[in-house]
C-alpha cells in the first residue's frame, strides 16, 4: 500500500472526487433560477437548497493533499521536500515530504528512502528542498543529503517503523519543529502538508495543507482489521470516515502537526506513511506516531553525532 511515490506513477490508488463543486452549484442555480427565482418563497427555498448542497460538497471535498488548500508557509517553513538529486526541475524531482528537526536534520518516512524498484537510495541520490512553496521555482535552498538513517525495523513490504532521518550537507536557513505526544496535547484536529496528489488526480506545484480529525487507534483498527492489518502504537490515524480529506501519493514522509496551545507552537505528531486509497470513505490515513520514536531519534542523533 505504501510505496515511494513518483510523479510518473502518481495516479494509482486514490479515489477521484468531484473537482469542481462550485461550478456544479453555479450551473444548477442558473438553470433553476430561470423560472423559480421570480417567486420570493421559492427563491428562499432555492437559496437554502443551494447552501445545503454547498455545505455537503465542502464537507466532502473541502478542496488537497486531497481536500486541502494551498499552504501559506512562513510560520510553517519547517516543511521540506525530498527530491531526486539527478532531476533539475523541483516539480519532477520531489517525491516525498519531510520536516526539519535541526538545521541539518530532516525527519521523513523510511519508505521514502527506497526507489521505485525498492532499492535503497544512497545519500548522494537525494536532495532536500527548503523554504520552497512552489516546487518548480528556484526559491529557498536545495541541499545535498550526506547520510540516510533508516529505522532498522523497517522493511519495505511492511508498514511498521516507517521513519528515517536525513543529514544535510549544511544548515538549512529555516525554522525547526519539535515533536509532541498527542497524549499530552489537547488537540482534536491535525494539519498535514504536502505536494502530493490531490482530488483531481495530479500532484501539485504549490505546497498544500489540509486539516483533519485525529482518529482513535480503536476506530482505526476496526477499519484496517478488514484489510488484515493492525494499527500499532507506532502509528496514528487521521481523517474523516466520509473521506474527502487525506494525504496521498507524494505526501509520504511529510509532517502531520498540531498546534500545542500550552507551548504556543506547532508540534510534529505524525509522518505520512500509508493508507487504503486517498480520501476514500470508510478509510483513514495512517501516520508514523513520532512520539513513539522519540527515544530512537535521540539515540541516533547521539550516536551519529548529528545536531
What's the min distance (Å) between Cβ of 275 and ligand 4AZ?
A: 3
What's the min distance (Å) between Cβ of 157 and ligand 4AZ?
A: 14
Distances (CA, A) of 231 to 181, 226, 236, 238: 17, 12, 7, 12
Please check whether residue 123 is in contact with residue 147, taking contact to mean a CB–CB distance below 8 angstroms: yes
What's the min distance (Å) between Cβ of 239 and ligand 4AZ?
A: 8
Compare residues 71 and 247 and give the one whose CB is closer to ligand 4AZ: 247
**Grid coordinates belonging to 58:** 465542502
**Grid coordinates belonging to 130:** 527548503
Taking Cα atoms as reference points, which of 228, 242, 198, 235 lies closest to residue 55? Answer: 242
Coil, helix or strand for 65?
A: coil
Coil, helix or strand for 189?
A: strand
Q: Give Cα 265 distance to the centre of its chain.
A: 19
Which element (helix H / strand E) includes 297? helix 294-303
Region from 139-147, 169-177, 219-227, 243-251 binding ligand 4AZ, contact rule CB under 6 A = 243-251
| 252 part of the active site | yes
Coil, helix or strand for 217?
A: helix
What's the min distance (Å) between Cβ of 136 and ligand 4AZ?
A: 21
Compare residues 21 and 253 and give the one whose CB is closer to ligand 4AZ: 253
Selecting among 252, 260, 273, 291, the annotated active-site residue is: 252
Q: Of residues 246, 288, 290, 300, which one binds ligand 4AZ by CB under 6 A?
A: 246
Assess 82 for contact with ligand 4AZ (CB under 6 A). Answer: no
Q: Of residues 204, 220, 247, 290, which one binds ligand 4AZ by CB under 6 A?
A: 247
- Judged on CB neighbours under 10 Å (0-12, 13-18, 19+), 103 is middle
Ramachandran bin of 186, using left for φ above 0, alpha for ψ from -120 to 50, beta for the remaining angles: beta
Return the residues of window 113-152 that contact ligand 4AZ according to CB under 6 A. none
Rounded to 10°, the helix 21-36/40-61 angle is 170
Distances (CA, A) of 261 to 102, 192, 210, 214, 267: 22, 18, 19, 17, 10
Compare residues 140 and 196 and give the one whose CB is closer to ligand 4AZ: 196
Which residue number has the CB closest to ligand 4AZ? 275
Contact flags string 1-30 toward ligand 4AZ, x per CB under 6 A: -xx-x-------------------------
Please give the size of the binding site for ligand 4AZ, defined by CB under 6 A. 14
| 58 part of the active site | no
| 303 part of the active site | no
Selecting among 14, 151, 161, 162, the annotated active-site residue is: 162
Region from 133-141, 142-150, 203-211, 245-253 binding ligand 4AZ, contact rule CB under 6 A = 245-253
**Grid coordinates belonging to 242:** 466520509
What's the min distance (Å) between Cβ of 228 and ligand 4AZ?
A: 17
Assess 64 for contact with ligand 4AZ (CB under 6 A). Answer: no
**What b-and-e string marks burial along 32-66, b requiring 16 or more CB atoms within 10 Å of the CB?**
eeeeeeeeeeeeeebeeebeeeeeebeebbbbbbb
Assess 112 for contact with ligand 4AZ (CB under 6 A). Answer: no
Return the residues of window 250-289 that contact ligand 4AZ according to CB under 6 A. 251-252, 272, 274-275, 278, 285
Residues designated catalytic: 111, 162, 252
Interacting residues toward ligand 4AZ by CB under 6 A: 2-3, 5, 246-249, 251-252, 272, 274-275, 278, 285
Amino acid at each position: 500500500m505504501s510505496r515511494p511515490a513518483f510523479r510518473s506513477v502518481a495516479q494509482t490508488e486514490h479515489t477521484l472526487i468531484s473537482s469542481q463543486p462550485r461550478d456544479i452549484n453555479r450551473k444548477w442555480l442558473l438553470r433553476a433560477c430561470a423560472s423559480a427565482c421570480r417567486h420570493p418563497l421559492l427563491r428562499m427555498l432555492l437559496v437554502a437548497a443551494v447552501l445545503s448542497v454547498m455545505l455537503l460538497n465542502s464537507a466532502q471535498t473541502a478542496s488537497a493533499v486531497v481536500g486541502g488548500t494551498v499552504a501559506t508557509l512562513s510560520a510553517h517553513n519547517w516543511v521540506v521536500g525530498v527530491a531526486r538529486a539527478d532531476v533539475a526541475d523541483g516539480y519532477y524531482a520531489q517525491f516525498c515530504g519531510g520536516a526539519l528537526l535541526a538545521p541539518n536534520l530532516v525527519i521523513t518516512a523510511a519508505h521514502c528512502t527506497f526507489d521505485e524498484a525498492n532499492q535503497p537510495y544512497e545519500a548522494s541520490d537525494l536532495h532536500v528542498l527548503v523554504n520552497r512553496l512552489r516546487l518548480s521555482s528556484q526559491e529557498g535552498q536545495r541541499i545535498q543529503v550526506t547520510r540516510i538513517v533508516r529505522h532498522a525495523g523497517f522493511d519495505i513490504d511492511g508498514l511498521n517503523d516507517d521513519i528515517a532521518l536525513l543529514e544535510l550537507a549544511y544548515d538549512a536557513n529555516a525554522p525547526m519543529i519539535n515533536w509532541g505526544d498527542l497524549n499530552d496535547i489537547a488537540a482534536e484536529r491535525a494539519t498535514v502538508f504536502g505536494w502530493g496528489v490531490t482530488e483531481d488526480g495530479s500532484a501539485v506545484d504549490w505546497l498544500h495543507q489540509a486539516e483533519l480529525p485525529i482518529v482513535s487507534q480503536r476506530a482505526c483498527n476496526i477499519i484496517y482489521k478488514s484489510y488484515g492489518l493492525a494499527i500499532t502504537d507506532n502509528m496514528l490515524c487521521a481523517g474523516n470516515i466520509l473521506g474527502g480529506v487525506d494525504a496521498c501519493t507524494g505526501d509520504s514522509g511529510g509532517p502531520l502537526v498540531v498546534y500545542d496551545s500550552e507551548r504556543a507552537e506547532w508540534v510534529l505528531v505524525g509522518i505520512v506513511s500509508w493508507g487504503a486509497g486517498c480520501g476514500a470513505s470508510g478509510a483513514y490515513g495512517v501516520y508514523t506516531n513520532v512520539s513513539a520514536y522519540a527515544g530512537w531519534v535521540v539515540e541516533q542523533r547521539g550516536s551519529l553525532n548529528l545536531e
